[in-house]
Amino acid sequence: MNAITQKHSKIVKDIALNLGFDFCGISKAQRLEKEEKHLDNWLSNGYHGSMGWMENHFDKRVDPTKLVPGAKSVVSLLFNYFPEENYDDSLIKISKYAYGSDYHYVIKDKMKTFMQLISENIGDVDGRVFVDSAPVLDRAWAAKSGLGWIGKNSLLITKQKGSYYFIAELILDLELVPDQPTSDHCGTCTACIDACPTDAIIADRVVDSTKCISYLTIELRDNIPPSFKGNMEGWAFGCDICQDVCPWNRFASQHQTPDFEIKNELKEMHANEWQELTEEVFKDIFKKSAVKRAGYLKLKENINFCKQ
């Protein structure tokens, strides 16, 4: 790589650091051939359940140049959301990533600033920003750029701080120096597989979404199948079990983002208040939360199902 490319790569990584991203890695924008086969098999087996949108734009999912014409580099970014304290009511649990404001908006603002700073420091660069909002295999790109490895629970794990991260990407028409992938450090550990109460992790790095509590409480629009009664362990929105038991998350450190702090109204919610949750209270507590994705009626159903 020439000196200019190296200089541009350093600028990009410096911007990431200054904007508060925990890790930044770079990959060459090219077709993900290995991941393409994995995705095709996963879809063919119906592990995506009712998430029909996962079948759409297949080529764009595995080839960033189809998504952003002229793309040369994929910049992967990790943003920590590990909280200081858990919300763990005796009745209801929600995933840590949904404690505060919706991450889509918080990180997307940073990504827009990122693009502006690239233009100011490098020049006219074309590209797009992505925060879990388009057909991008974010975990695959993060692993390819050396930020971590895909664990047995199919999540990206970093050796330094575990797996409680949001992943974002910049796909740019700018040539940058690619980073090298790291090795897998799960070894013989099966903690995530053993702890999953619904047996959703059916093989190494293969999750059957139709059995996953996160899918059942968020993506599934139908009623949760009766066969899962007694296995939800109180989770009403998402699930952190496979991350909570992962040994690498003993290195997780508290995030420094006020927007992700657990809301006082949520912190003060108790069992009887969850059972009596009204739509008005739902809209007030979760007006800027990722929990809105499930919606009031779905959340109420999840709460009632958790009690069974």
DSSP string, the chain: --HHHHHHHHHHHHHHHHTT-SEEEEEE----HHHHHHHHHHHHTTTTTT-GGGGTTHHHHH-HHHHSTT--EEEEEEEE---SS--B-SS-EE-GGGSSS-HHHHHHHHHHHHHHHHHHHT----EEEESS-SS--HHHHHHHTTS-EE-TTSSEEBTTTBT-EEEEEEEESS--PPPPP-----TT--HHHHH-TT--EEETTEE-GGG-HHIIIII--SPPPGGGTT-STTEEE---HHHHT-GGGGG------GGGSPPHHHHT--HHHHHT--HHHHHHHTTTSGGGGT-HHHHHHHHHHHT-
| Catalytic site includes residue 132 | yes
Gyration radius of the chain's alpha carbons: 20
> Side by side, which strands form the sheet with 23-28?
23-28, 73-80, 165-172, 127-130
Given the residues 63, 89, 126, 132, the one annotated as active site? 132
Active site residues: 132
